[in-house]
A and B are shown apart, each in its own frame.
Chain A
Amino acid sequence: DAGITQSPRYKITETGRQVTLMCHQTWSHSYMFWYRQDLGHGLRLIYYSAAADITDKGEVPDGYVVSRSKTENFPLTLESATRSQTSVYFCASAGEINQPQHFGDGTRLSIL
């Protein structure tokens, strides 16, 4: 099915562990984004990408790493998880810069 999918939907891990959140879209959209959503903060942009092999830092990139070797995939890695990274993470894609973003259903990440 066409769309944007995130995996896993739920994840519990411990501080100091590395964890990777996956994002896959089937539209071949050029633009992809990672956000975190926290109560009181709305959506905050972590990283974004305009094409394969092109990534840029957003508002809150510290502690996160991304890669984009293929257009359809945009994984987000927490290299050494901290409790402050407990959040709901959303991936989004857009075909053109004036087009709306399409969001995945999120990954709820808890770091103990």
Chain B
Amino acid sequence: DTEVTQTPKHLVMGMTNKKSLKCEQHMGHRAMYWYKQKAKKPPELMFVYSYEKLSINESVPSRFSPECPNSSLLNLHLHALQPEDSALYLCASSPLGLAGGTGELFFGEGSRLTVL
């Protein structure tokens, strides 16, 4: 069983909707991430939140916005998405933050998003 919990597991939304994906980790990790994964492709990093600092992959469009209410929660707000945004959205955490990140990631089960 994963200790990174994501909700919802499945989400279908229209292009004008506003929705949120939620992620919570219970391991005391100091870094949390959002990844996007299309079918038969590797995960692509979207955002990293660590020690109250947000790092953004500059290729991520502004219709995705992360929010970190505290060190164990990381939400992803979705607004005016496009059909090509349909994918598996994976939340992950890692035990080291700042320059100590090692790539040892613990993933949630993912939120499968379909944009109509």
Decide if A and B are genuine partners. Answer: no
Interface, chain A (partner B; CB < 8 A): none
